Amino acid sequence: MFSIFQKRIIAWALTCLAGMVVVGFVCGLFVVFSKFLAAFSTVIWPLAIAMMLSLLLTPVCDFLEKKFRFPRALSVASLFVLVVAAAAALLLFAVPMLFREAADLFRQLPVLLDRVLERFPELALWIDENFRRGNIRETLLQNASVPGALKSLLSAGLPHLRALAEKSGAFFGQVAAAASVPIYFYYLISERRDFIGFFEAESRPLLSERVAGDLAFLARNFRDILVAFFRGQVLVGFFYGLILAVGFGLLGVPGGIVIGLGIGMLNMVPYLGTIVGLSLILPLAFFSGGILTLFGAFGVFCVAQLTESYFLTPKIMGKRTGLHPMVIMLAIFFWATALDGLLGMVFAVPLTAFFVVFWRLFKERYLPSIVGSGEFPPAEKK
């Protein structure tokens, strides 16, 4: 017979082994799920986008239905009209201005490049040796005539034609998937059925009442986290980008309005817009306007960041996710790796918040019955 101490060691060893098996199983699930997403991305992305749009715009549809007593179909049609009108206004007024800003930025790029090369002569020498005097010059000399250039172009391009033909099918599939987004969106926003309640009712014959209720609770919680996070992030990102666009525009940074609004859009993924924006706008401000413009752009970033952190996010989102900023950054890197790219970065925060809720529920309601009370009898006295 084993002693109490030996039983304790065996129990902990079996527990650790079971934990390792569970961790391996979860890692395998992540790998399989990532490959599944990669294989069926053209099917999953349109449905995910339509679901997010329906969650974001359902309050507008409900407002039209309650305020003006529209039928559901008429409120959905009115919502489509509003979306099309907003898109048309954006195309007529905002897009031309953004194109002018982008064109101005591209026109000034050669001047900015010359300023960079003036400040860093070693870089200018390296570019001159490796590109201007080397590859480009030799290519121009070898293909001085038009027939020679065409021959070189065809010999270089023919091997890629087969790959282009293979990719064209995938391209048309992506176009068809994008065209299906409005259809999915219409059916999702028109449907009044509570799918979570339907799942809970249908699963009760198969699962215990407690498990079915907990699964429904987790599903509703995940839906609420998604809605709160994305609605809040859209508003926060819009105002954050607006502050940056106005500030950069007043400073005269080339393409500042476009870059500011783009940073706001990138901030749908927490901290991504800030990281990309700082690495892009600060060198651009320095080489376009000097040290004063650099400090001005950095000051605009500080004002926007403080406004977002201490006013916009607390007022709009509150503490819906309850996650520490360091946890958010780790979650973004983890889910970007687990889900292979942009999809994981976009859903990193709501997925992490959901798993925190899942762990709390599991720890309170299921873990004690699995591992027992955790108390061991006293050791035998010799």
Note the pLDDT of residue 319.
62
pTM: 0.70
Note the pLDDT of residue 145.
47
Q: Are residues 280 and 167 in the same domain?
A: no
Q: Are residues 225 and 302 in the same domain?
A: yes
C-alpha neighbours within 13 Å on the C-beta side of residue 114: 4
Residue with tokens 């992506």: 174
Q: Are residues 305 and 339 in the same domain?
A: yes
Residue at 21 is within a domain: no
Q: Are residues 203 and 186 in the same domain?
A: no
Task: Give the CA dihedral 332, 55, 232, 345, nearest 10 degrees.
Answer: 10
Note the pLDDT of residue 295.
92
Q: Are residues 341 and 220 in the same domain?
A: yes
DSSP string for 135-151: IHHHHHHHT-SHHHHHH
User: What do you get for the CA distance between the two ends of the chain, in Å?
Assistant: 16
Token pair of 334, please?
Answer: 């983890």
Note the pLDDT of residue 300.
94
Token pair of 191, please?
Answer: 């449907």
CB-CB contact of 52 with 38 (8 Å): no
Q: Are residues 150 and 205 in the same domain?
A: no
- The total number of structural domains that make up the chain: 2
- Domain ends where: 192, 209, 225? 192
Q: Are residues 203 and 348 in the same domain?
A: yes
Residue at 138 is within a domain: no
Residue at 355 is within a domain: yes
Q: Are residues 224 and 78 in the same domain?
A: no
Q: Are residues 188 and 51 in the same domain?
A: yes
Token pair of 136, please?
Answer: 């480009």
* Torsion over CA: 66, 67, 71, 73 (sign): negative
Q: Which residues of the chain have pLDDT under 50?
A: 133-134, 136-137, 139-141, 143-146, 149-150, 373-377, 379-382
Q: Are residues 161 and 214 in the same domain?
A: no
Note the pLDDT of residue 381.
47
Residue at 32 is within a domain: no
Residue at 18 is within a domain: no
Q: Are residues 158 and 81 in the same domain?
A: yes
Domain of residue 323, residue span? 198-368
Note the pLDDT of residue 240.
93
Note the pLDDT of residue 35.
81
CB-CB contact of 189 with 51 (8 Å): no
- Domain ends where: 130, 165, 192? 192
Residue at 377 is within a domain: no
Residue at 118 is within a domain: no
Residue with tokens 């800030």: 274
Give the DSSP letter of residue 132: I
CA-wise closest residue to 285 among 275, 295, 299:
295
